[in-house]
Amino acid sequence: MVSPFTLPPAGFGPGSQPVPDGELQYMVMPSGMRTYSPHFPEADDREAMAEALAMLAEMAAACEIVAQGAPPAHYDLSSLSPGARKVMADALGQGEVSMKIRGVPAVMVQESVFAGVWMLLAAGTDAVEIAQAPGLSLARAHVARRPAIGVLAKKVAGIANAPAILTEILDQSLNRKPGSVAHVVNLSLLPHTPEDLDWLAEALGEGSVTILSRGYGNCRITATAQPQVWRVQFYNSMDTLILDTFEVTEMPEVALAAAEDLRDSEIRIRDVIGAIR
Q: Are 96 and 215 in contact (CB under 8 A)?
A: yes
Beta bridge partners of 186: 245
Say if 25 falls within a structural domain.
no
Q: Find the range with the poorest average confidence among 73-77, 179-183, 216-220, 260-264.
A: 216-220
- Are residue 126 and residue 158 in the same domain, yes or no? no
Q: Which domain holds residue 87?
A: 46-132+258-276
- Are residue 126 and residue 162 in the same domain, yes or no? no
- Residue 42: the pLDDT is 64
Say if 6 falls within a structural domain.
no
- Are residue 249 and residue 265 in the same domain, yes or no? no
Say if 242 falls within a structural domain.
yes
- Are residue 156 and residue 247 in the same domain, yes or no? yes
HEC profile of 207-264: CCEEEEEEECEEEEEEECCCCCEEEEEEECCCCCEEEEEEEECCCCHHHCCCHHHHHH
Torsion 25-28-29-35 (CA) sign: positive
- Are residue 117 and residue 158 in the same domain, yes or no? no
Say if 8 falls within a structural domain.
no
CATH number at residue 101: 3.30.1370.140
- Are residue 88 and residue 100 in the same domain, yes or no? yes
- Model confidence at 12, in pLDDT bands (50, 70, 90)? very low
Single pTM value for the model? 0.82
- Are residue 79 and residue 127 in the same domain, yes or no? yes
Q: Are 9 and 16 in contact (CB under 8 A)?
A: no
What is the tens place of the pLDDT at every residue in 151-185?
Answer: 999 999 999 999 999 999 999 999 999 889 999 99
What is the tens place of the pLDDT at every residue in 90-105?
Answer: 999 999 999 999 999 9
- Are residue 155 and residue 224 in the same domain, yes or no? yes
- Are residue 85 and residue 114 in the same domain, yes or no? yes
- Model confidence at 206, in pLDDT bands (50, 70, 90)? very high
- Are residue 249 and residue 154 in the same domain, yes or no? yes
pLDDT at 26 over 80: no
Say if 69 falls within a structural domain.
yes
- Are residue 244 and residue 165 in the same domain, yes or no? yes
Say if 21 falls within a structural domain.
no
- Residue 176: the pLDDT is 95
Say if 41 falls within a structural domain.
no
CA–CA distance from 76 to each of 46, 73, 85, 143 (Å)? 21, 10, 10, 26
CA 19 to the chain's CA centroid: 42
Structural domain tally of the chain?
A: 2
pLDDT at 27 over 60: no
Q: Which tops the pLDDT comparison, 139 or 42?
A: 139
Say if 218 falls within a structural domain.
yes
Omega before residue 9 within 30° of 0, cis? no
- Are residue 163 and residue 229 in the same domain, yes or no? yes
Q: Which of 137, 90, 132 is nearest to 265 (CA)?
A: 132
- Residue 216: the pLDDT is 65
What is the tens place of the pLDDT at every residue in 108-157?
Answer: 999 999 999 999 999 999 999 999 999 999 999 999 999 999 999 999 99
